[in-house]
Amino acid sequence: MITLTNLEKVYRTKEIETVALENVNLTVDKGEFLSIMGPSGCGKSTLLNIMGLLDQPTRGTVEIAGVQTASMDDKQLAAFRNKTLGFVFQSFHLINSLNVLDNVELPLLYRPHVSAKERREAAIAVLEKVGLSHRMRHFPTQLSGGQCQRVAIARAIIGNPEIILADEPTGNLDSKMGAEVMEILHKLNQEDGRTIVMVTHNENQAKQTSRIVHFFDGRQIQ
């Protein structure tokens, strides 16, 4: 589903050069739930950003769902992300000036030929799936952390993407809420067959996934 070949990411400033990823070769299979672990600053999030086409590698190639992404322009990348990828972030990244329903609808705003009614119906359906249909008129500031992350998951799956990329999805949650979020992610993987790549520091949560890869200083060590 995702193939990263000879991937390298270097951040350059006038004075220093920082190697964030070095010679990464990684394949994620369709339907897999992969965990990426490693200490802070080892390049996990950079890797996830490159997989999500939110950042570009300095060298190497990214192939997602059989498509080479290197030559895509801004418009093609945007359309590809919209159709294929869903994102769950540690800090939720909900828009505070939009209510839950509008936040969840967001990916469909950028999909052509989807009417307002269809967007609304789809948003209600995914909110029911994450158990938050009773909160759809609330604003993010009126929700708990766990509820915010469930809204973010609903937003990630509304466009029916094949791949979900989760960057420490439970990092800002207590253990109970974290467990609830993990349960939803497992359901999405097992019942809906979605491919999930998750960056985490939590070894217990990682152990529940189908595979773990470890990173250290920008290199894949396991």
Partner 1 sequence: MPSINSYIKQSWRLLRQNRLAALLSILGTALAICMIMVFVILFIANTAAFKPESHRADTYYVTYVKTEGKADGRRIAMTGLGLPFIKECFYPLQSAEAVTAVVRDIWQKQILLSMDGRNTVTASILETDTAFWHVYNFDFVAGNPFSKATFESGLHEAVISEKMARSIFGTEQVVGKELKINFQVYRVCGVVKDVSRFADKAWADVWIPYTAGTHLFYNMEGIGGSFECYMLLKKGHNREDLQQELLKRIDNFNAGLSDVRANILHQPFSHLEKWMGGENSEVSVGKVFLRFGVIAFIILLVPALNISGIILAWTRKRIPEFALRQAYGATRQRIMSQVLLENLLVTLIGGLLGFILSYLALACMGDWLMITSLGQEQLSLQMVNGWVFIAVFILCLLLNLLSAVFPAWKATRQQISEALNS
Instruction: Enumerate binding residues for partner 1 (CB under 8 A).
Output: 45-46, 49, 52, 54-56, 74-75, 78-79, 81-83, 87, 89, 93, 95-98, 102, 105-107, 109-111, 114-116, 119, 155, 159
- By beta-carbon proximity to partner 1, the closer residue of 32 and 105 is 105
**Residue 19: in which H helix or E strand, if any?**
strand 17-28
DSSP string across 138-168: S-GGGS-HHHHHHHHHHHHHTT--SEEEEES
Shortest distance, position 155 Cβ to partner 1, whole Å? 8
**Cα angle value 111/163/1 (rounded, 5°):** 120
Three-class SS of residue 31? coil
Q: Give whichever of 117 and 176 is closer to partner 1, judged by the CB atom.
A: 117
Closest distance of CB 103 from partner 1, Å: 10
What is the C-alpha separation between 52 and 14, in angstroms, rounded?
27
Say if residues 130 and 52 touch (Cβ distance below 8 Å): no
Which of 67, 116 has the CB closer to partner 1?
Answer: 116
Nearer to partner 1, 34 or 50 (CB): 50
* Closest distance to partner 1 from the beta carbon of 199 (Å): 13
In whole angstroms, the minimum distance from the beta carbon of 208 to partner 1 comes to 26
Looking up tokens 């070949």 gives: 5
